[in-house]
Structures are given as structure tokens and as C-alpha cells.
Amino acid sequence: MHTRRFGALAALTAAVVALGVAEAVAIVTGATTSPLVSVGGVVIDNVPAAVKDFAVQVFYTYDKLALSVGTIALLAAFAVVVGVLAAKREIIGYAGIGLFAAIGIAAALSRHAAPWYAFVPTLVGALAGAAVLRWLFARETGYNATPEERRAFLRAAGYTLAGAAVLGFASRWWSTRRGVEADRAAINLPPVPPDTAVSPLPSEADAGLPDLAPFVTPNKDFYLIDTALVVPQLTSEDWQLRIHGRVEKEITISYKELLQRPMIERYATLACVSNEVGGGLIGNAKWQGVRVADLIREARPKAGADQVVSRSSDGFTAGTPTAVLLDGRDAMLAIAMNGEPLPVEHGFPVRMVVPGLYGYVSATKWLVELELTSFADFDAYWIKRGWAAQGPIKTESRIDTPRDGGKPKAGDVMIAGVAWAQHRGISKVEVRVDDGEWQTATLLPVPSIDTWRQWTLKWRATPGRHRLTVRATDNGGQTQTDAVAPPDPDGATGWHSIEVDVP
């Protein structure tokens, strides 16, 4: 009979070995076949929408990292409990590993487009974990162990645990980066004809103030929200797009063929529906790609095909109104972002960009399918979870400077921020100090109605605590509502306000 402390350590070590070996095997079978990723994906797909919203609010763009850490912590706790029980009956330890294997295999095989061998990492990891558990239990001689035997056991368990952890982390890092970055770096973007390229931005489009979001968001700062626990790794050679469903002509396009099609280049602002009033889940970039409308018309939609379902390589779906994609806006299959091939985390090789719609109904990354269907026949990923089927972006504005809680000096203070109403455009921004009159801000020029717009207002600040509030009006004459609403189900509303203390 073994001591409970040593049983717990043996089981914990075996669990780490199982995960580490599974991650190493997943280098060959694919990152999405690892048990941690598979189980995490099942959790993401099935957890209630309210829990997901909470995770985004609490952990922001680190929500999936938090899920991974939490999953590992739960597994560790499970292993410790199993180890304590196995100290008296060793068979319980193997039963616990078997349960781990069953859950991991079931999750791996249930994932979208899972290969038949998706169970292999979990199975090999579980066998390795069982072998290590047996080895450690054989080394630990129970209550009668001498101090030297116990020290030897602790060294063996410690070295094994540390080695397995390093193996797991290194394997995860490698399996999510192999080949794709090199493939992306080798892409030569096709030229954009002068008549469909963007003109150079005028210098006055960006006020260049400290803390004010730049007109063009650098790729490294662009917000990241998606449902993929690991970033899909799809090479340009493997990529192809299938257009099917309610169409007269099915189309399949390779990446090479896509790059040979007429290119457009546009500035467009993307926004996440989870963005709170005044939040940062929004960014503006220069995109290059192929018009979606040209491809849809080529496929010739049948009557009743009022929805285009874009599908990611990891199974995520977004449903976009067909009419929106054909109404003349610059919706595109984007291949480049700010002058370089799409970053892998932003959808390389190809993603959707649709000005005027929240990302959950339009901005599919790692795009591999466009299916013509109807809203009556299919609910996309977030619609099944209670979000609105239609997701037009609302007229919103934000104060970037001064910062909330800031202490600007008395005298002239520049208040500045951004406002957006993609595909309608911003015609006016007003700022109110405390309960005073609304003051009209200066609007900086923009290249199109599909981008956000910087605004500025000089304020003669006086000592004391002040509340600054902003609202915007779009080109259709619709002024941003002051009614406060959460992001669920179709985007947050309300006026953004901050408070400052002027010494």
C-alpha cells in the first residue's frame, strides 16, 4: 500500500506525461487532434453564450488561454484525487487514465472534419501515462520506504514531470507553427490595378495625438476574437474555396487561382459584436482581396438563397445576407492586411471582410467554404447561441484622450477619439462637458464611409472633476442612442463617458 501523498504525485506526473506525449504526437497528426485542444473545443462549442460573454469581459482576448489553463488545472486536480484513491487500490489510477482517454478520444473524433486518426495522440498519451504510473508505483515502496527510497522516488517523479511539461509546451508551440509562417512569408502579393487601389492617406486623416487610436491599426495591435482554441494552420498550397449550395454552378478555387483574379484594395473598419461601449474590440486596416460579389454572381444563386454561410477550416460558420454581399459594398475575400499577407492569427490564407456588419455574421477567418442557403434553413454558429441573425453595425463613438480617470492640466485640453457607422459614414460628432451644451467636434477626413473617423475638440479645462460624454450622428441622420444595452444580442449601445480630475 502506498502513501496518499506519493500516490497523488505519481498520478499527477502520469497525467502530465500523458498530455506531453499527446502534444508531441499531435505534431504529426495535427494540433487540433491533441486532447487538450479537442476537449477545449467541445467546451467552447457547448458552453452557454452567457458564459462566453463573461469570459470575454473578464479575460478579454485571453479568454481561450484562460480556458486552456483552467482545463489543465482541472485535470491536475482530477489526477491528484485519483492518485490519492489509487494509493490504496492501484487499479483506480489506471481507471482514471482510461476515463481521460475516453473523453479525449470522443472529443477528438467529434471535431469538424476530424481525420480518422484523431484519436491517436490521446491513446498514445494515455498508454505513456499508464506506463509511467506503473513505473512510479513500482519505485515507491509504501509506508515502509526508507528516506533514501523516498528521495529517489521524488527525484524520479520530479524529473519526469518537468521533462513531460517541457515536451508538452514545446510540442504545442511547434505544432501550431510548422510550415505556415514560412509559407506566408514566401507569398508574393499580386499588384492592385490603379483604378481599384486606395489613394495615399492624407496626413490630416490622423491627428497623431497620444492615446488616440491611429487611423490605421497595426496588425500586431488589431483585436483578436474567434472560437479557435489553436490557430488553424492552413498553407496556401492546401487552401481551396468551395462555393456550393443553392447555386446553378458549383465553384472550387485554389489559392493560386484566387490571386489571378482582379484585386481591390480598401480601408475598412471591423468591429466585434462583443465590444462594450468605449471598448477596444475594433480596428481599421487596409485590406486587399477579391470581391465576393463577383464570385457569387459567377456561381448564379438560385431563388430563395438569401444567406451566404462562410465556413472556416475549423468548422466555424457565419451567415451573411446575400443581398448585402451584392449591394455594391466592397465585401471581399481578403488575402492581405496593411500591405502584407494576412497574419496567420487573422485568417491566413483567406478571410472574409464585409464593411458594415459585425464580425460574427461576416468576418470568417481561415475561410474554406461559401454555401448559398437561406436563413430559414440554417442557423450559423452564434445564431444557434441566441445572437441576432442580422448584425448591422450600430452608430458608435469613443473618447480616447484624455483617459478615463486622467488628470489633465487646466487650460486648453484636446479631447479626441473615433466614431464609426460602417457603410453609412459619420457626419457629426458632439461632445458634452458635464451637463453643458453639446459642442460640435472637428471631423478628420476619411477615404470612405467604411472606416471609422477621428474627431477632435479643444476644451478649456477648469479645475475640478468633470464628466465628458460623446455621441455621433451618421450620414443617414441617425444619432447614436443614449439607451444603454449590452452586446447581446446585436451590439452594445449607449454614450461613452469618462471622468477626469483637473488639478
The CATH number assigned to the domain holding 480 equals: 2.60.40.650
416 and 359 in one domain? no
Give me the torsion for CA of 416, 494, 280, 38, rounded to 10°. -170
Give me the number of domains the chain comprises: 3
Residue-wise pLDDT for 202-217, tens only, equals 889 999 999 999 999 9
Whether 379 has a pLDDT exceeding 90, the answer reads yes
Based on the fold, state whether residues 344 and 305 are members of the same structural domain. yes
Are both 204 and 329 inside the same structural domain?
yes
Q: Quick one: which H or E segment has residue 117?
A: none
Query: What are the tens digits of pLDDT across the range 25-56?
Result: 888 887 778 887 787 777 777 767 666 666 66
Query: What is the structure's pLDDT at 53?
Result: 64
Residue pair 397/496 in contact by the 8 Å Cβ criterion: yes
Does one domain contain both 45 and 141? yes
Predicted pLDDT at 141: 54
Q: Is residue 424 part of a domain?
A: yes
How many other CB atoms sit within 10 Å of the CB of residue 496?
A: 22
Does 382 reside within a domain?
Answer: no
**238 within domain boundaries:** yes
Of 162, 143, 166, which is closest to residue 7 (Cα–Cα)?
143
Query: What one-character-per-residue DSSP string does 133-202 give?
Result: HHHHHHH--GGG--HHHHHHHHHHHHHHHHHHHHHHHHHHHHHTTTTHHHHHHT--PPPPPGGGSPPPPP
Please report, for the domain that includes residue 316, its CATH number: 3.90.420.10
**Model-level pTM greater than 0.85?**
no
pLDDT digit string (tens) for 406-424?
A: 999 999 999 999 999 999 9
The answer on 126 and 13 residing in a single domain is yes
% of the chain at pLDDT higher than 90: 63
| Cα distance between residue 44 and residue 461, in whole Å | 47
Q: For residue 29, what is its C-alpha cell? A: 497528426
Give the pLDDT confidence of 130-143 residue by residue, as tens digits.
998 888 887 755 55
pLDDT digits (tens, 9 = 90+) for 295-317: 999 999 999 999 999 999 989 99
Q: For 153-187, what is each residue's pLDDT tens digit?
A: 667 767 777 776 777 677 767 766 656 888 999 99
- Residue 202 falls within a domain, yes or no? yes
Quick one: pLDDT at residue 16?
A: 86
**Domain hosting residue 431, numbered range:** 396-502
User: Does residue 159 sit in the same domain as residue 204?
Assistant: no
Within a domain: 212: yes
391 occurs within a structural domain: no
